[in-house]
Structure 1
Amino acid sequence: MTVLPAASRCPVSAPHRADLIDPGLHQGDGAHAIWRELRRHAPVSWQPVRDTGYWSVVGHAEANQVLRDHDTFTSEQGTLLNLLGKGDPAGGRQMAVTDPPKHTHMRSPLQQALSIKTVDNDREEIRRVVRGLLEPLADGGPFDFAVAMSALPMAGIGTMMALPQEDWPRLVRLTHACVAADDPEFQLAAGPRATLVTAHRELFAYFQDIVTARRRAPGDDLISVLLTMELDGRRLSPGEIVSNCYSLLLGATVTTAQPPSAAMAELAGTAVLDDWAAHPELLTSGVEESLRWASPTQHFMRHTTREVEIRGVRVPAGDAVVVWLGSANRDESVFTDPDTFDIRRKPNRHIAFGVGAHYCIGHTVARVTLRVLFEELLGRFTGFELAGTPRRIRSNIIAGFTHLPVTARLR
């Protein structure tokens, strides 16, 4: 066992050291090359950051250990690296940054509202929105697939939250600004910090107005569920409701928009998409592979509540631990030929939605939306080709594309 006490933590050796926080690293394949080396030589390593740092976890088994053990690895001090050393003011109030048993009490009503039966009731509305997003592809000219897919989450979560469709483009932009504030596509002139603060403020103000209106005229949507939810014998406060609305929208934006673009960027110009179209029974396995391949959420952060051992390394209490999902989903010890997009991959033990108590609550909405998207895409179009240079998002939070020009033909 390797013992690294708090006062003498050593960073990973120089050949394997990298600034994984750097959003520019994630615009290409640089992160995957580094993760591959870390999985081989330093699966649990201390990464110093200014006057603090974090433990980097890159393996599948170790990621499962951290994400499943909420008693040892708390979410309440923040789940993303942009909060490293700062804490999260929403801790204990927002479901994503609350530990069981309180998390479980908050999650249960929403889990029921997001059941497959409920989501199925909205399937045809989701299909209508998806067809609208894909319609310009029929013209035969270059079509920016990534821009279209950035609006895809609203087909599911926007419908289930009953958010006015005319607001969707603004919400898409604001949520992307929250997870990719370093990207010039979304960044304000004042810089990343101002971008993040402004996007947060506008989204919270938007949901405050929506919640006020929904309180006067509740329905059967997710926001109305939050309005009637009880926690510890009381209704959620307006601030808690708004915070959880924000979390639901942000989670959907991260998990749903990028898998189709990641699949298209990898498979356009190959025979795989036509093979997939010819075998509709592979719809589910192909969608799951798109989730593994994209791993759209780059990382989750936790903090240790006690000293703990991870892969033979002793991690002190109170330290930040960061699980890199994109690395865990390419772990050679779990996935055969992990750097190949395999629409027939079974089993597929990806953790793109996380694992454990914080397993993505919107996974059903995301999966239904993605299945409808690929049904429509593969059923109506063929001959996919790249029509320009793809551009990746500059972010350490979300993996994906801002632009992906393609062409295709109607079947």
Structure 2
Amino acid sequence: MRLNKSAAPGEVDRHAVDLTDPLLFAHGDPHAVWEDMREHAPVHWQQVDDTLGFWSVTTFEDADLVLRDHTLFTSQRGTMLFLLGKDDPARGRQMAATDPPRHTRMRAPMQRALTNKRVEKYSDAVTAEVHRLLAPALGGERFDFAEAMMALPMATAGTMMGLPREDWPHLTRLTTMSIAPEDPEFGGPDGVDETLQGAHRELFAYFHDILRERRHHLGDDLVSLLLDMEIDGSRLETGAVLSNCYSLILGANVTTPFVPTGAMAEVVGTGVWDEWRTDPKLLNTGLDEALRWASPTNHFMRYALQDVELRGEKIRAGDAVVVWLGAANRDAEAFADPFTFDIRRKPNRHLAFGSGPHYCVGHTVARMSLKILFTELFQTFESFEFAGGIEHLHSNFVAGIKHMPMAGRVRRDAVGRLGEPAA
């Protein structure tokens, strides 16, 4: 998805725009659409077919309300547009598709397992994976940074879930197929629906085999935690454990990789890179700005539980409401000069991790991974330059770059830091 401000605002026909179309986010300019909506129709109805439609929410204030208030807007009927008009089979069993108070009881053990202190013990594994992924760039040759980043999340998710390392590449591909079945690089020959269903079947079958083995050998990993978890006096049924395994790995693989690619696409070759790289005090504020800028999770969907009025529009009970996170994170009412990548931005109350009860439970993992990655980039490379065209993922759910060839120049004082260049 293009992350910059539209070059031609005011030429948008919001009534003709289809926000479900993955091509809009791969080749179009959704920020121009959202900017027009924020100004003229911040709560906007899109009719999808004869029976289905949804409200789009594009301001920060409204997005925060919809995500935060589970008494008005439920997660249990589906949280992604591909489920529009369908009942989510994971409702009440998967954390992402369950409302409080049950959601709170399901989330608590996972949240305790993902505190900063507990996550920190995985930092060595993440650092080693970052070294491995960046090693091909050490020789200064053309290096696909985006492709390398798509493999990064499994260093934490795979390790924390106790999944065999040899399975990580295939799991990464399956999760990408799940969120970008329209993408020609990840879609199958039999169409979007079969790609999506096939990816889901493989992922659930994979985790079914993992559960069968793990039940006899519980350990200190997140899969074992789910198997041993008790909610309302009972352990989770197999279907619920499978659903939450799927949610955990999907959440890791479809968010973290697209933050560094979005940031690098903006700062490479600019003074911002040099400033960010040379001032350690800017690491954390820069990371939050990268999260705001990339907004990798493109949307979350909710359903109204009762009639609600927003910005003068009457949302009826049962209507679908889609929060566009990238739009909310570019709202000038919430962020000064929102189309500028400001590594000093503070405060920065972005919604990249969501808001309210469903605030990303793995945000500590994502932050740790990103901090390690950018630390290694800054300490190893003097500069980067683009070495080819940028290609965006075809997806309405994830805003991401799938290919971004670059060439890096290693700092003189960092020779040998990541090992030898890949052969």
| TM-score in same-fold range (> 0.5) | yes
**1:15 & 1:78 partners in 2: Cα distance?**
25
Correspondence 1:15-54 to 2 at 5 A: 15-28=14-27, 30-50=29-49, 51-54=51-54
Q: Is the 8 A contact 2:143 2:406 kept in 1?
A: yes
Q: 2:148 is matched with which residue?
A: 148
Q: Secondary structure at the match of 2:382?
A: strand
Displacement after TM superposition at 1:152 (Å): 1.0
Does the Cα contact within 8 Å between 1:16 and 1:38 map onto a contact in 2? no
| Equivalent residue runs for 1:185-204 within 5 Å | 185-204=185-204
* Contact in 2 for aligned 1:126/1:159 (Cα 8 Å): no
Contact between 1:16 and 1:37, CA under 8 Å: does it hold in 2? no
CA deviation vs aligned residue, 1:283-337 (integer Å, no higher than 9, x gap): 1111111110100000000001110111222211010000000000000111111
Other-structure match for 2:6? none
- Equivalent residue, structure 2, for 1:10: none
Q: Call closer, same or farther: CA 1:38–1:17 in 2, change over 3 Å.
A: farther
Q: Displacement of 1:15 after TM fit? A: 5.0
Map of 1:5-404 to 2, 5 A cutoff?
Answer: 15-28=14-27, 30-50=29-49, 51-404=51-404
Question: Can you list the C-alpha shifts for 1:317-363, whole angstroms capped at 9, x where unaligned?
Answer: 01000000000000011111111111111111100000000000000
CA distance in structure 1 between the aligned counterparts of 2:296 and 2:27, rounded to whole angstroms: 14
CA distance in 1, matches of 2:312, 2:28: 29
Give distance in 1, aligned partners of 2:275 and 2:14.
41
State the distance in 2 between where 1:236 and 1:98 align: 14
The 8 Å contact of residues 45 and 56 in structure 2, kept in 1 or not, is answered as yes
Could you tell me whether the CA contact under 8 Å between 2:384 and 2:408 is conserved in 1?
A: yes
- The amino acid across from 1:220 in the alignment is D
CA contact under 8 A between 2:325 and 2:351: conserved in structure 1?
yes
For 1:255, what is the secondary structure of its paired residue?
coil
- The amino acid of 1:191's aligned partner reads G
Question: What displacement does 1:271 show?
Answer: 2.1
* Other structure's SS at 1:104 match: helix
How far apart are 1:108 and its partner, in Å?
Answer: 0.3
User: Which moved further from structure 2: 105-114 or 156-165?
Assistant: 156-165
In the aligned structure 2, how far is the partner of 1:17 from the partner of 1:329? Answer: 23
Per the TM alignment, residue 17 of structure 1 is displaced from its structure 2 partner at its CA by 4.1
Shift of the alpha carbon at 1:46? 0.9
SS in structure 2 at match of 1:139: coil
Range moving further from structure 2, 361-370 or 21-30: 21-30
What's the secondary structure of 2:100's corresponding residue? coil
Give me the CA root mean square deviation.
Answer: 1.1
| Contact 1:57 1:324 (C-alpha < 8 Å) held by counterparts | yes
Identity %: 56
State how far apart, in whole Å, the 1-side matches of 2:309 and 2:266 are.
37
**Which letter maps to 2:54?**
Y
- Does the 8 Å contact 1:218/1:224 carry over to 2? yes
Q: TM-score, normalised by structure 2?
A: 0.93
- Bigger Cα displacement from structure 2, 267-276 vs 184-193: 267-276
* Residue matched to 1:4: none
Instruction: Supply the distance in 1 between the matched residues of 2:166 and 2:35 (Cα, whole angstroms).
Output: 43
Offset at residue 268 of structure 1 (A) = 1.4
* Distance in structure 2 (CA, Å) of the matches to 1:29 and 1:281: 36
> Normalised by the size of structure 1, how large is the TM-score?
0.95
Give the distance between the partners of 1:301 and 1:220, measured in 2 at CA.
33
Structure 1 gap segments, 5+ residues each: 1-12
- 1:186 is matched by which residue type in structure 2? F
Alpha-carbon separation, structure 1, partners of 2:267 and 2:27: 17
1:366 partner SS: helix
Q: Distance in 2 between matches of 1:14 and 1:32?
A: 13
Q: How many residues align structurally?
A: 399
Q: Which amino acid aligns with 1:47?
A: Q
> How far apart are the structure 1 equivalents of 2:351 and 2:275?
26
Q: Specify every segment of 5 or more residues in structure 2 that has no aligned partner in the other structure, as ranges.
A: 1-11, 412-423
The Cα shift of 1:211 comes to: 1.2
Conserved 8 A contact 1:16-1:34: no
SS of the residue 1:342 aligns to: coil
Shift of 1:16: 4.9
Deviation at 1:14, TM superposition (A): 5.1
Residue aligning to 1:8 = none
* Residue matched to 1:9: none
SS in 2 for 1:32: helix
3-state secondary structure, aligned to 2:254:
helix
